[in-house]
Structure 1
Amino acid sequence: MNRERISGIAHADHPIKSPLGDDSVSRLLERGLPRGDERVLDLGCGTAEWLLRALASRPHLRAEGVDVSEVALTQARQAASKLGVDDRLVLHHQEAAGFVSAQPFDLVISVGATHAFDGLLPTLAAARRHLAPGGRVLIGESFWDRTPSPEAVEMFGDLHDLATTVDHVVADGWAPVHGHVSTRDELDAYEWACWGSLASWALDHPADPAAVQVLETATAQRSQWLHGYRDSFGFLCLVLRRSPATT
């Protein structure tokens, strides 16, 4: 079973592919979409869950999403059709870093997808190119909540602590107008949901040739979380506007 299929199973019970609860997602969208009639772009949208939620509650919103996974985009199109918002959603099958649009956007989203741009600041640079005057960026990034183990650093790379992460964003010409640090409950709920969904699938499909692989993956990932990064990993979402000197 390929990684994309495994990821789809893992996130079956947690379609927001980040450690955020539904209420947190709603509040972040409220701060990013103060009018309700904005044009929204999600760079690295996956199954477009952020866009679907925004569209479902804002009938005058229009949205576009970009992702390299045709499987995820097909799922997004099906979900949009069921919600009756497909006429206001455009999805692009391509690398987010190479996406070009003739029109700017009022909100640019990139939550848990900064790897597509090789880091936080390059992601903000990409968002800036798509942003309309006065627009906002909703970005989600990992940070070290405590000193990480060598194993955690090997898994997640060169992250910073919370204060340093925000300092870098501000120094890059952005003003945070809202922020959310994922709680312990949100972080744990996400991990339990992912690895529990994989384990359940494997146990429910014992005759499937991939069942052993999927169960082993669930066990290994859960162990990495509990022994490697649970006590040090954090996740931050920021709603940003351009600082006056850089607009």
Structure 2
Amino acid sequence: MDRQTISELAHTDHPIAAPLDDDSVHRLLERGIPHGDARVLDLGCGGGEWLLRALAGHPRLTAEGVDVSERALARARAAAGRRGVEDRLVLHRRDAADFTAPHRFDLVLCVGSTHAFGGLSATLAAAREHLAPGGRVLVGDGFWTDTPSAEAVEMLGDLTDLPTTLDRVAADGWTPVGGHISTRAELDGYEWSWTGSLASWALDHPTDPDRAQALEAATAHRDGWLRAYRDVMGFLCLVLRPTHP
């Protein structure tokens, strides 16, 4: 079972691939979308859940998503058809870091996919290239709430604490105009859903040759969460505007 399949199964019951509940997602989108006929881009869109919710809530909005996974994009297309928004959604199979478009966007999203660019600062630099005048960026990334262990750093990368993260964002030329720090309930709910959905699939398919691997992946993820990073990692979403347009 490849990592993409594991991730798909793990997100069965939590299609937003980040520790955010539905109300938080709604509030962030409403804060980030500057007007009803906005053009929205998601860099690393996966199954397109952010875009689908934005399209459903704004009947004049148009959206584009970029991802390297054809399987994820196929899920996004199918979901767009079920929700009746497929005519306002364009999907691109491409590395988000290499994506170019003939036009700019009023909102550029990258939540939980900053690794595709090599970190938060590089993500913001890429987003700026796609941003229309007066536009906004909605970005989500982890931060340290306490001193991490070497194991936690190896698992999650070179994060910083919350004040330092905001200082770096400001130094890169951005001003926060909205944001959200995930609650303990959101953080734990996401991890329980991730591990529980994957484990449930394995238990529901006792004869599948990938059953043992799925159970092992769920157990390993749960152990990493509980032992390495649960008490030292937070998750921050920011709605940003360029300080100097």
Q: 5+ residue gaps in structure 1?
A: none
Give 5+ residue unaligned stretches, structure 2.
Answer: none
Q: Displacement of 1:119 after TM fit?
A: 0.7
Find the aligned partners of 2:44 and 2:232 in 1 and give their Cα distance: 25
1:200 maps to amino acid: S
Shift of residue 45, structure 1, vs aligned partner:
0.3
Where does residue 197 of structure 1 map in the other structure?
197
In the alignment of these two chains, the number of paired residues is 245
CA distance in 2, matches of 1:172, 1:200: 43
TM-score (norm 2): 0.99
Cα displacement (A) at 1:159: 0.6
Alignment partner of 1:228 is 2:228: yes
Map 1:1-247; keep pairs closer than 5 Å.
Answer: 1-244=1-244, 247=245
Displacement of 1:112 = 0.4
Per-residue displacement from partner, 1:181-235 (whole Å, max 9, x unpaired)? 0000000000000000111111110100000110011111101111111000110
Whether the 8 Å CA contact 2:34–2:106 is kept in 1: the answer is no
Q: Deviations over 1:34-57 (max 9, x none)?
A: 322100000000001000000011
Deviations 1:156-199 (CA, angstroms, capped at 9, x unpaired): 12110001001100111000000100000000000000000111
In the alignment, the residues of structure 2 paired with residue 215 and residue 97 of structure 1 have an alpha-carbon distance, to the nearest angstrom, of 33
SS at match of 1:194: helix
Cα distance in 2 between the residues matched to 1:34 and 1:240: 12
Aligned counterparts of 1:96 and 1:39: Cα–Cα separation in 2 = 17
In structure 2, C-alpha distance between the alignment counterparts of 1:141 and 1:159, rounded to whole Å: 9
SS in 2 for 1:138: strand
Q: Stretches of 4+ moved more than 2 A in 1?
A: none
Structure 2 SS opposite 1:165: helix
Query: How high is the TM-score relative to the length of structure 1?
Result: 0.98
* Deviating more after overlay: 149-158 vs 190-199: 149-158
Q: Give the match's secondary structure for 1:166.
A: helix
AA aligned opposite 1:231? D
Please give the per-residue CA displacement for 1:43-78, whole angstroms capped at 9, x wherever unaligned: 000001000000011000000000000000000000
* d(CA) in 2 for partners of 1:36, 1:162: 32
